[in-house]
Amino acid sequence: MFNFFSAQFWFFLSLLFLAFGAVGSLIFAKKDRLANWWGNGLAILASGSGMVAAVKVLCCGEFFKYTISTTLPNLAFSFVVDKLSAFFVLIISLIALLASIYGLGYIKHFYKKYNLGVLEFFYNIFLAGMLLVVTAHNSFFFLIVWEIMSLASYFLVIFENNDKDNIKAGSLYFIMTHIGTAFIMLAFLLLYQATGSLDFDVIKENVGQIPLLIKNLVFIFALVGFGTKAGIIPFHIWLPSAHPAAPTHVSALMSGVMIKTGIYMFIRLFVEVLSGTELWWGVTILIIGIFSSLLGVLYALTEHDIKRLLAYHSIENIGIILLGLGSTLIFISLNLKTLAALSLVAALFHTLNHATFKALLFMGAGSVISQTHTRNMEEYGGLIKFMPQTAFYFLIGSLAISALPPFNGFFSEWLTFQTLFSGVEISDIFTKLIFILAAGGLAFTGGLATACFVKAFGVTFLARPRSGKVLQAKESAFSLCFSMGTLALITLVLGIFAGAVSKIILGVVHNLNVFQQVSSAFFVPGKTFVLSNGFATVSTPMIFLIFSVVLLSVYGIIKILTKKRKVKISCTWDCGTKLKPRMEITATGFARSIITIFKGVLKPSRQLEVEYQDADIRYFQKSSTVKLEIADVYKIYFYQPLQNLMIKFSDQTKNIQNGNLNVYVAYILLILLLLLLTFVF
Amino acid sequence: MSGIIVWTIQLTLVPALSPFFLGVVRKIKARFQNRVGASIFRPYRDLWKLFHKNEVISEDASWIFRFAPYLIFSSTIILGASIPLFSNFFANNLLSDFLTIVYLVALGTFFLALAGLDVGSAFGGFGSSREMTLAALTEGGFIFSLLALSFLAHSTNLFSITRAISILPLFDFLPIILVFIAFVIVMLCETAHFPFDNPATHLELTMVHEAMILEYSGKKLALIEWAAANKFLIFLALGANMFFPWGLAAQNNIGGIVAALGIFIFKVLLLSTFVAVLESSMAKFRFFRLPDLLFTAFILSVMAIFLIL
């Protein structure tokens, strides 16, 4: 049955490793070191074999299906790994591999404080859950593994349970993810009702029978359900609190990979199964993409908790991915399949890129946090001198996420821009407007993201230390630096060889049956990447090459010509006073002008509390406190009214529950009568 | 052989001429202020002087501060070589995609802002904060002004755009004028001119660009100043050649190129005179009024795109 060394073999081997990893860590829970090595070691092996499986599917086309039927009706453990699944398996395994190596060193500071067996148990289960989510092909089975993934990540979020905030964040995550799951269930039940099957393949074959209304409902429910997991605005409120709460290597996985399972299901359901028939689907997703990317980056600017800042950037990047995905759906409904394929390549490429640079940034943040024991950026500063490697890798991550050449973020944003530009050129005035808004949104998002990462990198690593916590910081252990270094290299390699990578991704896209026999939207002759309509050309290897050559020659020439000049080291110009850390710009101060400009959206508030020496003569201040806060618009205009509605509704139901036993008996009688009556007629 | 000559000109033209145009703008401004003003070749002598000075580096500075001038300067060299200066026949130039140009500009800004933060002085930090605020809001206008042109030319390559626009009937120039206004706003912001920034200011509280580079001295200051001059010329050249692409050499022959170089210098002189007059005749805006101007640039470009399509 198993052909040794087939993709299938490697995939199941990976699951087996994870199962062993999970069970073993529980057994070794008493011994911290052993549990760490066992749990992470097996996760590393599992990710390695997962990558082999994915590469075999992507390159050799070894698709496989596997079904284990059960006695329960409709439940079949059915896996199908086509290229789309394999692509996501590859992303998950790649990030999981590096996160596990990172974890080996990172979780040492939990020794004797927390039960590492439990951490590793849930960690392995979480990885297995994600792998199964992107391969499951039966909706019942899918819901089970989806729930496994969500619950395992919930337990990872509340792992550091000495901090009450983490428990709170976990509860919010728990509630939100289950609201999402409820919507997903509704979507699947509707599909089951219309086609009589839970198997994705059967649903796909019978998609013609599904009435339009049901399709639209499925779209809305799936959008809310999977969108909650992906963190689209306004269903994102769990994300900025849950991602930072988890241990760092788990945050990297949650932000880099887990939220992408939502994107995976969007593609699976909307593009493949329902094959995106309606124009307004794509328009809706595009609009959500605009809001998510712009609001995500604006809220990120307001943050000074480094992990929350990164979490908000995940929302922004999900928005950018959705811009690509939304254009895909619009182009499919307009029957422009070549362009649709191009947009999907952009979306998938950005998914891959975001996974790499976001994992890198989270790991960099974790490395800083493990040395300074605080997430507050205002207490950092000058870390580049204490942790040079971490600083360098974080800088590369910042450049990549700001879409600066020659790193990978640049290419996928370039490609997303191109798909939006081609959207602007199509005829209908309404869709044209949406595309222009989307391109404008993306332009401003890119600019704001750059500003945000100047802030994040500058305040964390540059200038002088702002608190004593920095002074004891040392460079992190080898395993942490190794993971970050590898990811930094990957961001550069993906950026330089973007043409080749997009060819592979195009293979993934053409594997979907919507896009079979669609001509390619781009060519990669040599080092350049050319859109087939001749609109745009880019050559990332040449950018890198020319940049390196010019930079080196400028550096060399200036060095040689000015060899004789002396360099004197002195203090920063201090206007005659002694410079104190308080004189440096803070993260809050840096972003304040942008916040003021966008005050219509962010609604900043400023509260001044002054305490006087004497309550009667209010001349001499003892202390004054300024509180700068940001009001959450979506909380005020979306969640608060929703909550009020719920409370009102609950108040109404209170009327029928007056606590009198006789009344309840009467209710039972009434219901019984009602049921009898319905049976009679 | 002539290919090499053309390439050498293309690569060195911007760094060679940029201090000159800086000098011209300063001279015109001086005349407006009833001063004689320094010679228009003063910026060259300044650079020469700075390259010969020893430098002082803050003890708080990291390698970012030391490395940034080289990177910023290199990025302007590459930008200068990838835009149409005097010819429009480099169409398969690999770096001439306008998004690449925009993001290369952003790369320079990114490192300049980091260098401003690196020394830990309050001025540098606020300069970076202001610079990034403006840069973030300019990007929309910058991308969209060039996007409008690329819809006209159906190409994002700057050389193809100049060729397509130079053969456009005059009647189609209404949207181009709109886009040009948007581009001028973007240019003034990116190159730190009035009403966004005062390039000659000595008051730290109102500085944007100057505040970031306060701690630089010697050859690094020279590089940064030179890079700023290059950036100014790059934007002038974009404004002159993208929107009024007449007089660019279409073929690779010596006579044509010499004539085109003359026309290029004339066009850029005209545009820099315009900037100098503008600078002498208006005041610097309050910082929080600048976003309105930048959004105006964005909206003008959007309007032009609707007119074009």
Query: Residue A138: exposed, middle, or buried by beta-carbon count in 10 A (0-12, 13-18, 19+)?
Result: buried
Pairing of strands A567-570, A621-630: unpaired
Question: How many whole angstroms separate alpha carbon A219 and alpha carbon A266?
Answer: 9
Residues of chain B with Cβ-Cβ distance to A527 below 8 Å are 94
Residues of chain B with Cβ-Cβ distance to A551 below 8 Å are 70-71, 74
With an 8 Å Cβ cutoff, are A417 and B99 in contact? yes
Question: How many whole angstroms separate alpha carbon A13 and alpha carbon A131?
Answer: 12
Distance of CA A276 to the CA centre of its chain: 24
* Closest Cα in chain A to B158: A536
Confidence of residue A300 (pLDDT cuts 50, 70, 90): very high
Question: How many whole angstroms separate alpha carbon A405 and alpha carbon A679?
Answer: 71
With an 8 Å Cβ cutoff, are B128 and A458 in contact? yes
Q: How many CB atoms lie within 10 A of CB A618?
A: 10
pLDDT at residue A3 is higher than 70: no
The CB-side HSE value for A604 (13 A sphere, CA atoms) comes to: 20
Confidence of residue A570 (pLDDT cuts 50, 70, 90): confident
Q: Dihedrals φ, ψ of B97, to 5°?
A: -70, 135
- Of A47-61, A460-474, B41-55, B80-94, which range is least confident? B80-94
Which has more confidence, A605 or A376?
Answer: A376
Question: How many whole angstroms separate alpha carbon A551 and alpha carbon A199?
Answer: 56
* Closest Cα in chain B to A559: B219
Closest Cα to residue A263, out of A285, A241, A291?
Answer: A285
Closest Cα to residue A263, out of A214, A228, A234, A233?
Answer: A228
Q: How many CB atoms lie within 10 A of CB A360?
A: 30
Confidence of residue A564 (pLDDT cuts 50, 70, 90): confident
Confidence of residue A610 (pLDDT cuts 50, 70, 90): confident
Let me know: does A64 contact A8? Beta carbons within 8 Å.
Answer: yes
Residues of chain A with Cβ-Cβ distance to B111 below 8 Å are none
Q: Which of B47, B107, B112, B226 to mutate to test the interface with A (most CBs of A within 10 A)?
A: B107
What is the DSSP-derived secondary structure letter of residue A160? Answer: S
pLDDT digits (tens, 9 = 90+) for A271-298: 888 886 788 999 999 999 999 999 999 9
Q: Is the peptide bond before A211 cis (omega within 30 degrees of 0)?
A: no
Q: What is the DSSP string of B5-53?
A: HHHHHHHHHHHHHHHHHHHHHHHHHHHHTT-----TTHHHHHHHHHHTS
Q: Is the peptide bond before A234 cis (omega within 30 degrees of 0)?
A: yes
Q: What is the DSSP string of A426-483?
A: SS-HHHHHHHHHHHHHHHHHHHHHHHHHHHHHHHHHSSS-SSHHHHT--PPPHHHHHH
How far does A550 lie from chain B, in Å, by closest CA?
6
pLDDT at residue A2 is higher than 60: no
Q: Residue B88 has what pLDDT? A: 72
Residues of chain B with Cβ-Cβ distance to A542 below 8 Å are 94-95
Q: Which of B8, B96, B97, B154 to mutate to test the interface with A (most CBs of A within 10 A)?
A: B97
CA angle at A221 for the pair A217 and A222, rounded to the nearest 5°: 115
Q: What ipTM was estimated for this complex?
A: 0.94
At A626 the three-state DSSP class reads strand
Position A108: which residue type?
K
Average pLDDT over residues A501-527: 85
* Closest Cα in chain A to B145: A440
Residues of chain B with Cβ-Cβ distance to A387 below 8 Å are none
In this complex, which of A385, A447, A554 lies closest to B139 when CB atoms are compared? A447
Sign of the C-alpha dihedral, residues B138, B141, B147, B149? Answer: negative
Residues of chain B with Cβ-Cβ distance to A539 below 8 Å are 94-95
With an 8 Å Cβ cutoff, are A550 and B71 in contact? no
What is the DSSP-derived secondary structure letter of residue A586? Answer: P
Let me know: does A611 contact A622? Beta carbons within 8 Å.
Answer: yes
Question: How many whole angstroms separate alpha carbon A648 and alpha carbon A73?
Answer: 41
Let me know: does A139 contact A36? Beta carbons within 8 Å.
Answer: no
Q: Quickly list H helices, B90-217.
A: 98-118, 122-153, 158-166, 173-190, 209-212
Q: What is the largest CA-CA distance in chain A?
A: 106
Q: Residue A60 has what pLDDT? A: 81
Percentage of chain A with pLDDT > 70?
A: 99
Residues of chain A with Cβ-Cβ distance to B117 below 8 Å are 454, 458-459, 462-463, 585
Let me know: does A527 contact A499? Beta carbons within 8 Å.
Answer: yes
Closest Cα to residue A415, out of A344, A361, A474?
Answer: A344
Closest Cα to residue A126, out of A105, A104, A106, A96?
Answer: A96
With an 8 Å Cβ cutoff, are A570 and B154 in contact? no
Residues of chain B with Cβ-Cβ distance to A561 below 8 Å are 51
Over chain B, what is the mean pLDDT? 88
pLDDT at residue B104 is higher than 50: yes
How far does A37 lie from chain B, in Å, by closest CA?
37
Residues of chain B with Cβ-Cβ distance to A428 below 8 Å are none
* Closest Cα in chain A to B92: A537
- The residue extents of the domains of chain B are 2-308
With an 8 Å Cβ cutoff, are B150 and A535 in contact? yes
- Of A141-155, A519-533, B148-162, which range is least confident? A519-533
Confidence of residue A76 (pLDDT cuts 50, 70, 90): confident
Q: How many CB atoms lie within 10 A of CB A358?
A: 28
For the record, the structure tokens of B201 come out as 């200011």
At B232 the three-state DSSP class reads helix
For the record, the structure tokens of B308 come out as 């074009």
In this complex, which of B133, B139, B157 lies closest to A443 when CB atoms are compared? B139
Confidence of residue B90 (pLDDT cuts 50, 70, 90): low
pLDDT digits (tens, 9 = 90+) for A437-456: 999 999 999 999 999 999 99
Could you tell me what percentage of chain A is helix, strand and coil, using 3-state DSSP and rounding each to the nearest 5? 70, 5, 20
With an 8 Å Cβ cutoff, are A451 and B132 in contact? yes
Residues of chain A with Cβ-Cβ distance to B285 below 8 Å are none
Q: Residue A680 has what pLDDT? A: 82
What is the DSSP-derived secondary structure letter of residue A406? Answer: T
How far does A343 lie from chain B, in Å, by closest CA?
17
Closest Cα to residue A590, out of B124, B125, B120?
Answer: B125
For the record, the structure tokens of B29 come out as 């401004």
In this complex, which of B55, B70, B118 lies closest to A551 when CB atoms are compared? B70
* Closest Cα in chain A to B71: A551
In this complex, which of A381, A450, A569 lies closest to B110 when CB atoms are compared? A450
Question: How many whole angstroms separate alpha carbon B158 and alpha carbon A528?
Answer: 16
Residues of chain A with Cβ-Cβ distance to B294 below 8 Å are none
For the record, the structure tokens of A234 come out as 């306004």
At A103 the three-state DSSP class reads helix
With an 8 Å Cβ cutoff, are B94 and A542 in contact? yes
Q: Residue B1 has what pLDDT? A: 62
Q: Residue A489 has what pLDDT? A: 95
Q: Quickly list H helices, A512-539.
A: none
pLDDT digits (tens, 9 = 90+) for A197-251: 888 888 888 888 888 889 999 999 999 999 999 989 888 889 988 988 999 999 9
Q: Residue A252 has what pLDDT? A: 93
What is the DSSP-derived secondary structure letter of residue B205? Answer: G
Q: Residue A420 has what pLDDT? A: 92
* Closest Cα in chain A to B130: A593
How far does B115 lie from chain A, in Å, by closest CA?
9
Confidence of residue A1 (pLDDT cuts 50, 70, 90): very low
Confidence of residue A467 (pLDDT cuts 50, 70, 90): confident
With an 8 Å Cβ cutoff, are A463 and B51 in contact? no
Closest Cα to residue A221, out of A255, A257, A193?
Answer: A193
Over chain A, what is the mean pLDDT? 89
